[in-house]
Structure 1
Amino acid sequence: MKTLLNDADSAGGPEAALSGETIRIRGGRPLRGRVEVKGAKNLVTKAMVAALLGDTPSTLRDVPDISDVKVVRSLLEVHGVRVESGAEEGTLHFDPSGAVAAHFEEIDAHAGASRIPILFCGPLLHLLGEALIPDLGGCRIGDRPINFHMDALRAFGAIVDKSYEGIRITAPDGLHGANIELPYPSVGATEQVLLTAVRAKGTTELRNAAIEPEIMDLIAVLQKMGAIISYEPNRVLLIEGVDSLRGYDHRAIFDRNEAASWACAALATDGDIFVGGARQQEMLTFLNVFRKAGGWFDVREDGIQFRRGDRLTPVVVETDVHPGFMTDWQQPLIVALTQAQGTSVVHETVYENRLGFTEALVQMGADIVVHPQGIDSPERRVPRRALEQAAVVTGPTPLHGAEVVVPDLRGGYSYVIAALAAQGESVVSNMGIIRRGYEKFFAKLDALGADFDVIG
């Protein structure tokens, strides 16, 4: 019997208050049923920030009820933006007409562990002439330096001053177009450039830009607002600055990370899950790997059905920036690969610490060996990076229950799925982190037939 607390599916409150939540899972039961995915966390939070750029109110639809959204909402409100929920579930309205500066202490108090304040810089510089950034948090999955962001802002003419409180950024002479080449196609740095360049004087050329679907959807938002942005070959974005932007009305792209997570849950638990709202086009790379690993899927007009085929087979995966295999997809996939017949290899090339979560899977009975310096192979297609690691997964190995602590968003989801696939009882603590990116998580588990209790 499941015991759900009254607020078990509310993402409200600071993330720190949520992080202590613990659940007890009784595994060995396939997940079967339907779940719905809303807008992508990696687009919604950035589109919310973009509302600061408009001279008129904006409306964003399909907004998930997750803690990251609540953090950005509170940051907008502390800067004087009026945010209201619409009549349609998942709709938010933003009125930036009363925008004001905020203090370090206020921003820090509302940001919590989020790194989103850094993306406020460009819009706030245009609107107020100043932006403040406290110490930044985020999932502890590796080095996520902000130098790409700071270098880009300096290229636009911003002055960056560091103090014990954080970083103060000003633009006494305004912001101007720039020629910028990123050393790596960073999603965050690309978003920073877009949100800053659209109202800078002149034209900005960004080379080696990220081109993830969420980036393209952010460009669509900005174009609706009146921005002029061209996508040219070889990861080049050309942004012609305009004097003013209006508000937008936009329905967010679906969350392909959540969709892939539920697909891997079906694979790991030998379940059958229909993911409503998932689309094939944005998941082509994932679907290829899913099929090679022994998964079966059926693309329908309103979503995609996922289940295990006759048997799971080992695969070799290399994470990469889009259109490659996303780093966010490898963690739940590794859980499923522990049940494949043979040896799989996952090359993680994006974040250097993203395989640390496998230690708990080994504790649960998995046979996983992490190679801290990665593995060379003549079949490799993704260029090697100095920070990369590799995980060698040998299966099938029965998983058994254990007590584990959620380390980060995707790793934590993977622990839950491993516990659901395992025999016996598991206790998973620090569950609040999962609420950063998964809406109504406990309710969805319940709908899929998971056997669990919320115990604290």
Structure 2
Amino acid sequence: MTLLGDTATTGGRKGGEGEVLAIRGGRPLRGTVQVLGAKNLVTKAMVAALLGESPSTLRDVPEISDVAVVRSLLEVHGVQVQELGERGSLVLDPRGVESAHMEEIDAHAGASRIPILFCGPLLHRLGQAFIPDLGGCRIGDRPIDFHLDALRKFGAVVEKLPSGIRLSAPRGLHGANIHLPYPSVGATEQVLLTAVRAEGVTELHNAAIEPEIMDLIAVLQKMGAIISYEPNRVIVIEGVPRLEGYDHRAIFDRNEAASWASAAIATDGEIFVEGARQQEMLTFLNVLRKVGADFQIREDGILFRRGGQLRGVTVETDVHPGFMTDWQQPLIVALTQAEGRSIVHETVYENRFGFTQALVQMGADITVYPNGLQDGPRRVPRRSLEQAAVINGPTPLHGADITVPDLRGGYSHVIAALAAEGESTVRNIGIIRRGYADFLDKLTALGADFDVIG
């Protein structure tokens, strides 16, 4: 295995975000795909290696561009990264950690938001950190205020510069009592990565409790951290003066698993997702059952297929244990083939239905309500930023010329093109590499008919 370096690769095929696919649709996807470690855990566990005084080993690392970005940022800071013989295994040695120039950090960060999570570990190891201007998918406002406010409470000094943000800890970092206004995954990770080496006790209230967060806690505990989880989203971290390296196999990527499930349903195919587990996908599987899709849970994965006529469903995205926002985009493609009316309430991000414009262009009947829908019972509390999408189906899809807007939306466009009759041109395909390993090779193995034309 060759993990991504400066040039993104997918299964040996090179190309940037501007790569274009010509997809001939109308063919069911059938076969087996394997999911490795979750993007939302692997990249954070790689950062956690900075905290150790000895090397760490991380297993089931997927070959995605986000991993390449974190690897390059670690190497810029003096961390030695080596690949083991076992596929997807990395050894991260932080013993030579050193400061990096702002220009180097900016150059290697690209559009990734991961540099913000380097702050706590670097403040502990070096006493300073730098964050360049942050990018990421264009799915709404993703402020770093939660992160900066938490770092200030730990004792960090934040200095805003034209090129980014410089942080320092002239008096070291100490425990803090932190209340998040929203159970942000990123801010929870920030607190965990900072509190484990801070002097004293940290209490984090309204924390995110996603499975990837729990897996990060497991990583940190292996390193020597003392972390306990209490009811009502409270996490207590007792700071320790020293951490060692870890040996950890990452939790599977439930986002990728749900994406392939939606692909099987949308194309009326059958896909076995090797490595998927029931427990972490419980909420998603409940929705599939309501839709009328079929799945079989096996010891080594989950088999997904349409099974029969799909039914309309109402979905409300929410933080864990609710329905993930990353699940709704590929699911909407499948819902275009469901009988009746489906409603998806997006409560996590304020601008995540932009991808539906391409689906409408392909023949879907989707109406987006920018201010949400106020009628009907709700389980998830309404938020001022929420939107709603109403999908009427089933509607046949036809080929179109579309451009990938973001990671999950881009995957959804590809699956819609594979479900549609005729040929589609899908541009900017490289964005999908941020979260889907060996994407084109997996499509080929599932019987997809496409050409790379750019």
Deviation at 1:11, TM superposition (A): 4.6
Q: What residue identity is the alignment partner of 1:125?
A: L
Matched, 1:13 2:6: yes
Q: TM-score, normalised by structure 2?
A: 0.98
Deviation at 1:12, TM superposition (A): 4.2
In 1, the alpha carbon distance for the partners of 2:101 and 2:453 equals: 38
Match of 1:39 among 25, 37, 40: 37
In 1, the alpha carbon distance for the partners of 2:320 and 2:239 equals: 26
Match of 1:276 among 270, 274, 277: 274
Task: Determine if contact 1:14/1:110 at 8 Å carries over to the other structure.
Answer: no
- Deviations along 1:345-388, one digit per CA (max 9) or x if unpaired, are 00000001101110010000000000000011342010011100
Deviation at 1:69, TM superposition (A): 0.3
Match of 1:321 among 319, 322, 333: 319
- Deviations along 1:80-122, one digit per CA (max 9) or x if unpaired, are 0000001101000010000000111100100101000000000
Deviation at 1:282, TM superposition (A): 0.1
Q: Which runs of 4+ in 1 moved over 6 A?
A: none
Match of 2:184 among 183, 186, 191: 186
Matched, 1:252 2:245: no
Match of 2:68 among 67, 70, 76: 70
Task: Determine if contact 1:225/1:248 at 8 Å carries over to the other structure.
Answer: yes
* Other-structure match for 2:89: 91
Matched, 1:119 2:117: yes
Q: CA, structure 1 residues 25+434, in 2 after alignment: closer, same or farther (shift >3 Å)?
A: same
Matched, 1:173 2:171: yes
Task: Determine if contact 1:15/1:433 at 8 Å carries over to the other structure.
Answer: no
3-state SS in 2 of match to 1:266: helix
3-state SS in 2 of match to 1:196: helix
Deviation at 1:291, TM superposition (A): 1.2
In 2, the alpha carbon distance for the partners of 1:41 and 1:51 equals: 16
Task: Determine if contact 2:3/2:68 at 8 Å carries over to the other structure.
Answer: no
In 1, the alpha carbon distance for the partners of 2:363 and 2:47 equals: 43
Matched, 1:353 2:351: yes
Deviation at 1:15, TM superposition (A): 6.3
Match of 1:236 among 234, 237, 240: 234
* Other-structure match for 1:449: 447
Matched, 1:103 2:97: no
Matched, 1:384 2:386: no
* Other-structure match for 2:367: 369
In 1, the alpha carbon distance for the partners of 2:393 and 2:174 equals: 55
Kindly report which structure 2 residues correspond to 1:220-231, keeping only aligned pairs within 5 A, or say none: 220-231=218-229
Deviation at 1:310, TM superposition (A): 1.5
In 1, the alpha carbon distance for the partners of 2:377 and 2:265 equals: 26
In 2, the alpha carbon distance for the partners of 1:378 and 1:418 equals: 29
Match of 2:328 among 326, 330, 337: 330
How many equivalent residue pairs?
449
In 2, the alpha carbon distance for the partners of 1:141 and 1:396 equals: 27
Q: What residue identity is the alignment partner of 1:140?
A: R
Q: CA, structure 1 residues 12+400, in 2 after alignment: closer, same or farther (shift >3 Å)?
A: farther
Quote the RMSD (CA, aligned, Å). Answer: 1.3
Q: TM-score, normalised by structure 1?
A: 0.97
Match of 1:219 among 217, 220, 239: 217
- Deviations along 1:279-309, one digit per CA (max 9) or x if unpaired, are 0000000000011111100000100000012
Matched, 1:294 2:292: yes
